Structure 1
Amino acid sequence: MNGLSELIDSLEVKFFKLNQKVAQLEKKNQELQDELLLSRKNQQQQSGEIEALKNQLDTLKMVNSLLGSEENKRETKLKINSLIREIDYCIAQLSD
């Protein structure tokens, strides 16, 4: 009978340690999920900033070409033509 109680005590100790390990892993999992959420928010913010900077760069390129820069003249002409087509389309829609 003594061996059985030692076995039960051993199982209780192992169960307690296992329970502590599960609690540690759950805590670590929650920390990692929080960190992942924060990283995703940062990524979204940085993506927004990148998009804004790209738009600003496009605007600056257009302004440079309008001011006489030879580098972006073709792009500006294409953009102006695109805007003219959009305006023509809108006028045609209003005429109907």
Structure 2
Amino acid sequence: MSKIEDIVDSLEHKISKVLLRVDHLKQANLELSKDLASARQEIQTQKQLNIDWEEKYEALKIANSMLGSDDNKRETKLKINALIRDIDHCIAQLSD
């Protein structure tokens, strides 16, 4: 009987080690999930910041070309034409 008790004790000890390891892994998984969520939020923030800066850059290019810069005149003309088409479309819808 002593041998069976030793086997049972050994098994209980191993099971408790496994359960403790599972708890540690769950805790580590939770921390990693939080870190991942934080990193994803930071990436989203950086993407939005990048978009904002790109819009400001485009506006600055248009403003520079309107002030006489020859660098982006074609882009500015295309943008102005697109805005005129949009305005004409809106006027046409209001006329109907």
Q: What band does the TM-score fall into relative to the shorter chain? A: over 0.9
Name stretches of at least 5 consecutive residues in structure 1 with no aligned partner. Answer: none
Do structure 1's residue 12 and structure 2's residue 12 form an aligned pair? Answer: yes
Structure 1 counterpart of 2:45: 45
Q: What RMSD in Å do the two structures reach over aligned CA positions?
A: 0.5
1: distance between equivalents of 2:16 and 2:95? Answer: 80
What do residues 7-52 of structure 1 show as CA deviations (whole Å, max 9, x unaligned)? Answer: 0010011011001100000000000000011011101111110010
Structure 1 counterpart of 2:83: 83
What do residues 59-87 of structure 1 show as CA deviations (whole Å, max 9, x unaligned)? Answer: 00000100111110000000000000000
TM-score by length of 2: 0.98
Instruction: Number of aligned residue pairs: give it.
Output: 96
1:38 partner amino acid = S
TM-score by length of 1: 0.98
2: distance between equivalents of 1:69 and 1:11? Answer: 81
SS at structure 1 position matched to 2:68: coil
Runs of 4+ in 1 over 2 A off after TM superposition: none
Structure 2 counterpart of 1:63: 63
Do structure 1's residue 35 and structure 2's residue 35 form an aligned pair? Answer: yes
Name stretches of at least 5 consecutive residues in structure 2 with no aligned partner. Answer: none
